[in-house]
Amino acid sequence: MGWYFPVWLSIAIFLAMSFVIAKQFREKRAGVLALLLWLIYALPFIHLVEYLWFDFSQDTSLKLFILEINPYMFEQRIVELTGMIGAVGGIGVGLGIVLSGKLLVRDIGSILNNNRLQRRTLPFIIWLTWVTVGVILSWLAAPKEAIDTAAYTASESAVQGFGFDSAFLISYVILIYSLCDALLENNVKMKALKKITVYCAISFVVVFLQLMRGDRECLPLIVAVALISVYWMAPNRSSHENHLIFTKLLILCGAIMLVALVVGSVRHSLTDGNTIEVVAHHFSMLFVSGLSSVASLMHGTWSGILLTPFSVAGDYIHELCPLRLGKDYWDFFLSIPPGFAAKALGYARPIDSLHGPAWEMRYGGGGTHATVLPFINFRMIGVFLIQALVAYLLTAYEKVILKKVNMLNLAAIGTIVTVLPLWLWYGEKNIINGFIIWAALGCLYRVSLSLLVGSTINRVEVHNTHGCSTSIKGIT
């Protein structure tokens, strides 16, 4: 109809949805996954706040945007439509979370508690093979040189050019499966050994193969590992204990954001040999600037991602955005074959690292926000319905996890958390890849279990109302 929400109304809607989702979380009708979904979805639109005092008739500069300024940022209708796209999608996210309805209920018997349900886990040698393969794939996918010897973009990975762009994600999902196996291990000594081993392996990947080489894709993996270890696999706790855990997770997320900012700012400038001095300088600059302006700490990958809603909003206003009616989603389906297989068969995928919606954005720094494809394919109704569906499915699935904790469910939700920023900021193909990798490794894990020699005796201790226990043995 040619009418767009004023910027203040879009911001008010974001604040209202934040309140609604926080209320759902406090009432145990939504879990941490819903909070992460909302945080990652909404974070790019934080830069709309500056427009509350921006004078479109006179101002010629935007202080919050650290990326290249483009003409679309100075047109009021484009800015209003950008905020409206985000706000309508935000309403969809809030509605999806609310519609999931049911309370989060933990299955006390299947989570580590007094009554332990024993499960089949991998023998240590086979399990160690999984961990080793995960580390090797991370090593192959990482840049060959650290950022103190070569700028981030100047160093290629060992698999670059082979159509194996998902190697890093495969390695992460393998490590997630290994972690879940360790946490579900019933033998106390073996469990301790597995946990120490897998945490050391993950730390090696995160510090030496990722952060020290300028990559930041590992940061969601840290969140996934923390949530699996202290939230989804944790026994029932009091409200006070839950608040403490949640506070620690928030601190972890804040620390991760700070690391992301520092790594992003120094990964092109450490090659002069003064590594410690440069890192210290950037840390001091962050804190000093933070004292003068909190907004200065709000720059990051999400700043560039906001350029893509600006791009499609501007194209729509200038009648340069034809309605695609689902063509991009069909292209995602046609792009399912992995890159190395497509390359071997001579098949040109419509969407890959060099083709796809991100390359069609008039303005952008790579990737597309989760609202972009729904808008260009189905306009505003698509933005609303698709975000509502995603939020509903993720919130409902987390409730399933807590009711039935097992290897596949834990690995699935860990994979979702690991892929979530890539999905919401870099396109839907990332969640498709994540799901395929999770399913394939799930089948491989079952095959690995079948390598167990002989029968495994599972024991379930059932406590009756008189405090006595009965042991029930089953052969599997």
Q: How far apart are CA 96 and CA 21, in angstroms?
A: 10
End-to-end CA distance of the chain: 64
Asked if 99 and 30 count as a contact pair (C-beta separation under 8 A), the reply is: no
- Local structure of 274: helix, strand or coil: coil
Three-state helix/strand/coil letters over 142-206: CECCCCCCCCHHHCCECCCCCCCCCHHHHHHHHHHHHHHHHHHCCCHHHHHHHHHHHHHHHHHHH
At residue 303, the pLDDT reads: 80
Sign of the Cα pseudo-torsion (308, 312, 314, 320, in order): positive
> Counting beta carbons within 10 angstroms of the beta carbon of residue 43, is it exposed (0 to 12), middle (13 to 18) or buried (19 or more)?
buried
Q: How far apart are CA 31 and CA 106, in angstroms?
A: 12
Give the pair of three-digit tokens for residue 118.
Answer: 């024993």
418-421: list long-range contacts, CB under 8 Å, 24+ apart. 418/169, 418/172, 418/173, 418/176, 418/220, 418/221, 418/224, 419/169, 419/220, 420/36, 420/37, 420/40, 420/220, 421/40, 421/220, 421/301
pTM: 0.81
Please list, in sequence order, all residues whose beta carbon lies within 8 angstroms of the beta carbon of residue 473, skipping any fewer than 6 positions away: 457, 458, 459
Q: What tens digit of pLDDT does each residue of 73-110 get? A: 888 899 999 999 999 999 999 999 999 878 877 765 55
471 forms bridges with which residues in the sheet? 461
Q: How many residues does the chain have?
A: 476
> Which ranges of the chain have pLDDT less than 50?
112-117, 147-155, 266-271, 276, 278-279, 282, 286-297, 453-476
User: Residue 355: what are its φ and ψ, rounded to 5°?
Assistant: -140, 150
Q: How far apart are CA 122 and CA 296, in angstroms?
A: 48
Asked if 428 and 332 count as a contact pair (C-beta separation under 8 A), the reply is: yes
Q: What tens digit of pLDDT does each residue of 122-144 get? A: 999 999 999 999 999 988 887 76
Alpha helices in 293-361 (DSSP H): 301-305, 307-317, 327-334, 339-345, 357-360
Question: Whose CA is closest to 459, among 184, 191, 116, 188?
Answer: 116
379: region left, alpha or beta (phi > 0 left; psi from -120 to 50 alpha): left
Asked if 369 and 308 count as a contact pair (C-beta separation under 8 A), the reply is: yes
- Local structure of 471: helix, strand or coil: strand
> Counting beta carbons within 10 angstroms of the beta carbon of residue 56, is it exposed (0 to 12), middle (13 to 18) or buried (19 or more)?
exposed
> Counting beta carbons within 10 angstroms of the beta carbon of residue 454, is it exposed (0 to 12), middle (13 to 18) or buried (19 or more)?
exposed
474 forms bridges with which residues in the sheet? 458
